[in-house]
Amino acid sequence: MQTGIVREGNFEQTAKVAVCGIKHGSKKMNLANYNKGEFNAGRGLFTQILWYLLNELIISSCLPGSYWRVFLLRSFGASIGRNVVVKPHVKIKYPWRLRVGHNSWIGENVWIDNLDEVRIGNNVCISQGCYLCTGSHDWKSDRFDLVTSRIEISDSVWVCAMCKLAPGVTIGTGSVISLGLVVRGKVGEWKILTERKNQHFQERARF
């Protein structure tokens, strides 16, 4: 382990950094051999291009109002419940891989990078600037293989502003992810994730 200074905005903190050794003789990445494996976008090229254009013009725009955004998302295959709020400047990779329950909010500048499915429950708040990442790469392969895994967020969850959710994350009912955290793996029900180091949990009162 090594100790270093991590800078985030105007703040500095001391953090232990794990350095993983790479064996000599390992294959170097050759991006000319990049491999998507069995990945399929789920729609044809025309639909993808049309979505990219409308996403930039309306979903990601500064235009106020959720009605237009919800209508377009549903038109492109998203499952969106009642009373869902989608704020301006939201980016969504593939609407046909998005499921959102009733009364949920998606805040400004949220990026749902859903190469794989993203499921968001009822009464969920995803605050400003969050990034939901469903894709990664096998850095041990010289082909830099694409790897995807879905994200599931249960009912009554609050993901606070500027959080980042890694591929395969599941968050249980009633949990809160505190400001700016990076989340990996599974968060249980009615937990408050409060620290980046060791993913420290507190219990949240049930109601």
CA distance 192 to 202: 5
- Residue segments in the chain with a per-residue pLDDT below the cut of 50: 1-19, 198
At the fourth CATH level, the homologous superfamily of domain 36-203 is Hexapeptide repeat proteins (2.160.10.10)
Question: At a CB cut-off of 8 Å and minimum separation 6, what does 58 contact?
Answer: 68, 69, 72
Q: What stretches of 55-134 adopt beta strand conformation (E)?
A: 79-80, 85-86, 91-92, 98-100, 105-106, 111-113, 118-120, 125-126, 131-133
- pLDDT for 30: 86
Q: Which own/partner contact pairs does 179-185 have at CB distance under 8 Å and 24+ positions apart?
A: 180/8
Domain spans in the chain, listed from the N-terminal domain onward: 36-203
Assess contact for 118 and 139: CB atoms under 8 A: no
- pLDDT for 183: 95
- Cα dihedral angle (176, 153, 95, 114), rounded to 10 degrees? 90
Strand, helix or coil for residue 78: coil
- pLDDT for 12: 41
pTM above 0.85, yes or no: no
- pLDDT for 8: 42
